[in-house]
C-alpha cells in the first residue's frame, strides 16, 4: 500500500499544528513551543516526530492528562543543578525555560545538569542537545517511555524505546549529533511502517506470540527488541535509571501504570547534561575535533551523524505530508 502525500510549506505545517493544539485547549505559549518542535521535525525529515504526533498531543489535551496552560518552574538546586517541574505540560516549553539556565551554568562551571519532572515528551531529542551545542557546549540527554522493548533474552516488554541524544559543538558549523532509540527501531517508525504496509528487518521485534517477524503491524502489537543485542539492552537499562530515579521520576513501567491510556504522551522525566570542552580540557580543542572529522569523512561510505537532517534543513521549500494525516489534523476540534 502506498500513501498519498500533499505539499505543505513550513508555515502551513506550523499553523496546522498550532491550530489543532489551540483548538483543543493549549495556550499560546505551549501551542507555539510544540508547533515549533513539530515543524522543525518536518523540516529536518524527522517525520515520525512531526505532524504524525499531533493527534497524540491532542488526545492528551482532550483527556486533561496534559495541562495545555502549564508553566514550567525551574528550581536552582545548586549552582550547577536545576530541577524543572513541568507541571504536567508538554516537554518543549520545559526546554525553553530550562535550557537557558543549564547553558549559563555550564559556561560558568564547566558542567551542569537539568532534571525535568512531570513532563510529557513526545518528540525527537535532538532539539535539546542541538540547542546546547549551538552555545558551544556538549549536550547529552535521555528519556524513557512505556514498556515496548524486551530486555535481551526475554520476550516481555520492560524498557521504553528509550532514546538518547548526544551533540558536540563545532564553532560556525552544524554540531555532530546523534539521536537514537535504543530499540532496534523507534516506535513511531514501526507505526508508520504498519500504516503504510512496509515490512521491517528481521530482528526488529517479536509478534504477540514471541516469534521473530518482519511484519511491522505484528511487532506494533508485540514487542520490540533492543538494538545490538545485549549491548543495546544495557544502554536501555542505563536510560531507565538516568531518566527515572536519577531525576526523581518513573521507570517506563511506572509511567505506564499511572497513565490514563489515552494514546497521548505519558508523564515522565528527562535527564539533560551540558558540558564545556573549553573548561574541562583547559584549552580550545575545536581544531583537534575538525582534524578528527577530516579523517572520519575520508573513509569511504562514512557520514557524520546529524548530516542528513542538517542537509534537509537547507531546503526551505514545502514538505510532502501524508494527505490523510493533514485531513485528520484539520478536523481536530475545528
Ligand atoms: P535512526 O536510527 O534513524 O538514527 C540514529 C542516529 O544515527 C541519528 O542521529 C542519525 O543521524 C544517525 N545515523 C543514521 N545513519 C547514519 C550513518 N550511516 N552514519 C552516521 N550516522 C548515522 O534513529 P531512531 O530511529 O533510533 O530514532 C528516531 C527518533 O525517535 C529519534 O529522534 C529519537 O529521539 C526519537 N524517539 C523519541 C522517543 C520519545 O519518547 N520521545 C522514543 C523513541 C525514539 P541523521 O539524523 O543525520 O540521520
pLDDT in tens, 164-195: 999 999 999 999 999 999 999 877 789 889 99
Rounded mean pLDDT of the chain?
96
What ranges do the domains of the chain cover? 5-183+226-283+316-332
6 tagged catalytic: no
Whole-angstrom distance, CA of residue 198 vs CA of residue 188: 13
Q: What is the pLDDT of residue 1?
A: 46
**What are the pLDDT digits (tens) for 291-325?**
999 999 999 999 999 999 999 999 999 999 999 99
Which residue's C-alpha comes closest to atom 2 of ligand 1?
A: 180
Whole-angstrom distance, CA of residue 40 vs CA of residue 316: 11
The verdict on the CB of residue 121 being under 6 Å from ligand 1 is yes
R_g (Cα) of the chain, nearest Å = 20
Which residue's C-alpha comes closest to atom 48 of ligand 1?
A: 308
Which residue's C-alpha comes closest to atom 14 of ligand 1?
A: 305
Burial of 25 (0-12, 13-18, 19+ CB in 10 A): middle
Burial of 136 (0-12, 13-18, 19+ CB in 10 A): middle
Class of domain 5-183+226-283+316-332: alpha beta
Atom of ligand 1 nearest to the CA of 145: 40
The verdict on the CB of residue 306 being under 6 Å from ligand 1 is yes
Is pLDDT above 70 for 2?
A: no
Whole-angstrom distance, CA of residue 48 vs CA of residue 38: 10
Is pLDDT above 80 for 75?
A: yes
The answer to whether residues 268 and 136 touch, using CB atoms and an 8 Å cutoff, is no
**What are the pLDDT digits (tens) for 92-147?**
999 999 999 999 999 999 999 999 999 999 999 999 999 999 999 999 999 999 99
Is pLDDT above 60 for 222?
A: yes
254 tagged catalytic: no
Q: Do you know the residue count of the chain?
A: 334
Amino acid at each position: 500500500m502506498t500513501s498519498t502525500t500533499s505539499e505543505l510549506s513550513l508555515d502551513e505545517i506550523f499553523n496546522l499544528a498550532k491550530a489543532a493544539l489551540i483548538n483543543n485547549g493549549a495556550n499560546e505559549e505551549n501551542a507555539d513551543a510544540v508547533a515549533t518542535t513539530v515543524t522543525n521535525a518536518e523540516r529536518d525529515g524527522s517525520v515520525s516526530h512531526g505532524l504524525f504526533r499531533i493527534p497524540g498531543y491532542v488526545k492528551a489535551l482532550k483527556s486533561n492528562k496534559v495541562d495545555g496552560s502549564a508553566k514550567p518552574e525551574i528550581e536552582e538546586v545548586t549552582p550547577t543543578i536545576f530541577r524543572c517541574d513541568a507541571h504536567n505540560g508538554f516537554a518543549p516549553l520545559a526546554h525553553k525555560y530550562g535550557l537557558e539556565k543549564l547553558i549559563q551554568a555550564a559556561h560558568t562551571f564547566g558542567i551542569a545538569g537539568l532534571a525535568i519532572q512531570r513532563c510529557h515528551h513526545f518528540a525527537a531529542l535532538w532539539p535539546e542537545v542541538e540547542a546546547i551545542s549551538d552555545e558551544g557546549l556538549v549536550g547529552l540527554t535521555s528519556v524513557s517511555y512505556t514498556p515496548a522493548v524486551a530486555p535481551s533474552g526475554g520476550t516481555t516488554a520492560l524498557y521504553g524505546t528509550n532514546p538518547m541524544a548526544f551533540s558536540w559543538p563545532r564553532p560556525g558549523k552544524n554540531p555532530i549529533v546523534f539521536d537514537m532509540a535504543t530499540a532496534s527501531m523507534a516506535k513511531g517508525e514501526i507505526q508508520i511502517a504498519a500504516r503504510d504496509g512496509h515490512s521491517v528487518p528481521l530482528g526488529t521485534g517479536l509478534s504477540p506470540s514471541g516469534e521473530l517477524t518482519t511484519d511491522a503491524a505484528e511487532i506494533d502489537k508485540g514487542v520490540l527488541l533492543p538494538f545490538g543485542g545485549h549491548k543495546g539492552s544495557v544502554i536501555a537499562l542505563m536510560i531507565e535509571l538516568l531518566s527515572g530515579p536519577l531525576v526523581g521520576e518513573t521507570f517506563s513501567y511506572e509511567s505506564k501504570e499511572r497513565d490514563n491510556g489515552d494514546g497521548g504522551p505519558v508523564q515522565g522525566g528527562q535527564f539533560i547534561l551540558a558540558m564545556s570542552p573549553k573548561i574541562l580540557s583547559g584549552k580550545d580543542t575545536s581544531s583537534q575535533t575538525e582534524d578528527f572529522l577530516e579523517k572520519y569523512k575520508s573513509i569511504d561510505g562514512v557520514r557524520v551523524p546529524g548530516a542528513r537532517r542538517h542537509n534537509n534543513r537547507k531546503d526551505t521549500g514545502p514538505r510532502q505530508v501524508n494527505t490523510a494525516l493533514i485531513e485528520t489534523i484539520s478536523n481536530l476540534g475545528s
